[in-house]
Amino acid sequence: MKGETMKDKKKIIGVIAIIVAILAIAVTIGMYFYRNAKPEEKKETAKGRIELIVTDQNKVPANEAATFELKQVFSEDNKQSVMEITPRKDGVVDFYDVPEGEYELEIVKVKEGYTFAEDKKVQQFHVTANQINTINWSCTREGRLLQVTTVDKEKNPIPDVKIDLYDKEGVYMLTGKTNAEGKTYFNLEEDGEYYFQLDKDCEKAKEYQLDETLYKVTIDAENPTFSTTVVNEKR
């Protein structure tokens, strides 16, 4: 009986050894495939870009006219705020890498001197991936505006020209700088006489013979917006 018992024990030990060996092989194979398997690529949400352009009744960029809040719309009762932002000097706001989906822009604060139509304070739209989704917004600017455009003799715009503004007494007020379209804008709070002159010491004076004339401008109720173009010669 003892002999049979020993044989049984040996059989059990043998079976256990085989099972352990099989498990070890299985683990080894599993580790091999685990180490050599390619990691699954994360599926990124397709993204687009939102470009918000704010202009006044004269199609002039309305920088700082309002603060806008961008919200992602999941449902009418579920809207998630993304950020609040104010347009930069050219009246443009860019939102990059925006996940595709439904969105809403809402005016949350209006700067004094500007008004927006009550029914135009919220805009909903769809953001399409890999595209620039442009939203145009217009407002009414109160007060007076002086617009100066600088061009060369071929009527090509000259950007980055500094222009100094003075009051009727000749006292310096501020300096503007022309944009890519060769334009700069001065928002004036009061009627009256003003003077402006191109800055002959700015960087663009190295490329162009800038007009050094001191120009006189009159702004009043009959002429709330004054626009003029200054022609300059290329050196």
- pLDDT value at residue 39: 47
CA distance 87 to 54: 7
**Confidence bin at 2 (pLDDT 50/70/90):** very low
**Using one digit for the tens of pLDDT, what is the confidence trace for 72-109?**
999 989 999 999 888 877 778 888 889 999 999 999 99
**Confidence bin at 42 (pLDDT 50/70/90):** very low
Residue indicated by tokens 């003029």: 228
* Residue 123 CB neighbours (<10 A): 15
- pLDDT value at residue 15: 62
**Confidence bin at 37 (pLDDT 50/70/90):** very low
**Confidence bin at 113 (pLDDT 50/70/90):** confident
CA distance 30 to 159: 65
Rounded mean pLDDT of the chain?
A: 84
Q: Which helix (H) or strand (E) holds 19?
A: helix 2-36
CA distance 211 to 161: 11
**Confidence bin at 22 (pLDDT 50/70/90):** low
Whether pLDDT at 41 is above 50: no
- pLDDT value at residue 57: 84
CA distance 63 to 177: 14
- Rounded average pLDDT over 152-178: 94
- pLDDT value at residue 17: 63
Whether pLDDT at 157 is above 90: yes
Cα 207 to chain centroid, rounded: 31
For the chain, which domains are there? 47-141 (2.60.40.10), 144-234 (2.60.40.10)
- pLDDT value at residue 173: 94
